[in-house]
Amino acid sequence: MEDRRQLCNQFLEAFPLSKLKDLTLDTYTNLNKDNSFCYWLESRTTGLGSFRGGYSIKFSIYAYRNKPASDGSVKSDDKYVWYAKYNQDTAEGAFEIVKNAIVRVANYANEGKFEEIESISELGEGYKWKIAFLYSHERLIPIYSKKMLQTLAKHFNMGLNVSRVEIQKRLMEMKGEKDLYDFYDELLKILEAYSPTNTDMIQHSENLLGETDHDNSSQRQYWWLIADPKVWKFTDIAVGGVVNYTLYSDNGSKRRIFQNFLDAKEGDGVIGYASTPTLQVVALGEIAKDTDKEYLYFRKNEQLLTPIDYSVFKQHEELQGMECLKGNGRGSLFKLTADEYETIIEIVRHENPEKRVAVQSYTDEDFLSEVYMDADDLQHLKSLLRQKKNVILQGAPGVGKTFTSERLAYVLMGEKEPERIEKVQFHQSFSYEDFIMGYKPTEQGGFELRTGIFYQFCQKAKNSPDKDFFFIIDEINRGNLSKIFGELLMLIENGYRNTEINLAYTGKPFFVPDNLYIIGMMNTADRSLAMIDYALRRRFSFFEMKPGFDSAGFMRYQQKEVNNARFNQLIRAIKSLNKEIEKDHSLGIFILTLFLLKLARN
Q: CATH number of the domain that 535 lies in?
A: 3.40.50.300
pLDDT at 592: 45
The CATH number covering residue 322 comes to: 3.10.590.10
- Asked whether residue 552 is domain-assigned, the answer is no
Instruction: Enter the DSSP assignment of 55.
Output: -
283 and 246 belong to one structural domain: yes
Q: Which amino acid is at 155?
A: H
Share of the chain above pLDDT 90, in %: 34
What Cα–Cα distance (Å) separates residue 424 from each residue in 401, 427, 486, 562? 14, 10, 17, 34
153 and 194 belong to one structural domain: yes
195 and 49 belong to one structural domain: yes
pLDDT(26) > 90: yes
pLDDT confidence band for 198 (50 / 70 / 90): very low
pLDDT at 136: 96
72 and 181 belong to one structural domain: yes
49 and 182 belong to one structural domain: yes
pLDDT at 200: 40
pLDDT confidence band for 213 (50 / 70 / 90): very low
Instruction: Enter the DSSP assignment of 40.
Output: I
- Asked whether residue 478 is domain-assigned, the answer is yes
Which of 15-29, 499-513, 566-580 is the most confident on average?
A: 15-29
125 and 180 belong to one structural domain: yes
Bridge partners (DSSP) listed for residue 391:
519, 541
Q: Is 472 exposed, middle or buried (0-12, 13-18, 19+ CB in 10 A)?
A: buried
Q: Which of 516 and 1 is assigned the larger pLDDT?
A: 516
pLDDT in tens, 294-319: 888 888 888 888 888 888 888 887 88
Which of 168, 185, 213 lies at the terminal end of a domain, its last residue?
A: 213
pLDDT(218) > 50: no
pLDDT confidence band for 199 (50 / 70 / 90): very low
371 and 490 belong to one structural domain: yes
Q: What is the pairing mode between strands 222-227 and 333-336?
A: antiparallel
Separation between Cα atoms, residue 243 and residue 224, nearest integer Å? 15
pLDDT at 119: 86
- Asked whether residue 557 is domain-assigned, the answer is no
- Asked whether residue 304 is domain-assigned, the answer is yes
- Asked whether residue 32 is domain-assigned, the answer is yes
- Asked whether residue 29 is domain-assigned, the answer is yes
Neighbours of 52 (CB within 10 A): 13
Q: Which of 54 and 338 is assigned the larger pLDDT?
A: 338
Instruction: Enter the DSSP assignment of 449.
Output: E
Q: Which of 210 and 409 is assigned the larger pLDDT?
A: 409
pLDDT in tens, 407-438: 999 999 999 888 899 999 998 889 999 999 99
CA dihedral of 285, 288, 291, 292, whole degrees rounded to 10 = -150
pLDDT at 421: 93
599 and 499 belong to one structural domain: no
pLDDT confidence band for 207 (50 / 70 / 90): very low
From the list 362, 365, 366, 385, the residue with the least C-alpha distance to 543 is 385
pLDDT(572) > 90: no
171 and 111 belong to one structural domain: yes
pLDDT(211) > 50: no
Separation between Cα atoms, residue 93 and residue 370, nearest integer Å? 33
- Asked whether residue 554 is domain-assigned, the answer is no
pLDDT(587) > 60: no
| Sign for the pseudo-dihedral over CA of 186, 191, 194, 200 | negative
168 and 313 belong to one structural domain: no
Whether pTM > 0.85 for this model: the answer is no
286 and 400 belong to one structural domain: no
Separation between Cα atoms, residue 321 and residue 326, nearest integer Å? 8
Which of 351, 369, 400 lies at the terminal end of a domain, its last residue?
A: 351
- pLDDT, mean over the chain: 82
Instruction: Look at the chain and report how many structural domains it folds into.
Output: 4
What Cα–Cα distance (Å) separates residue 95 from each residue in 15, 90, 204, 214, 481? 17, 9, 31, 20, 55
Task: Provide the domain limits for residue 431.
Answer: 360-545
Task: Identify the weakest region by mean pLDDT among 192-196, 236-240, 367-371.
Answer: 192-196
Separation between Cα atoms, residue 342 and residue 326, nearest integer Å? 20
pLDDT confidence band for 217 (50 / 70 / 90): very low
485 and 379 belong to one structural domain: yes
User: Under the phi-then-psi rule, with left for phi > 0, alpha for psi from -120 to 50, and beta for the rest, what region is 50?
Assistant: beta
Residues 159, 153: contact at Cβ < 8 Å?
yes
pLDDT(195) > 70: no
Which of 178, 213, 248 lies at the terminal end of a domain, its last residue?
A: 213
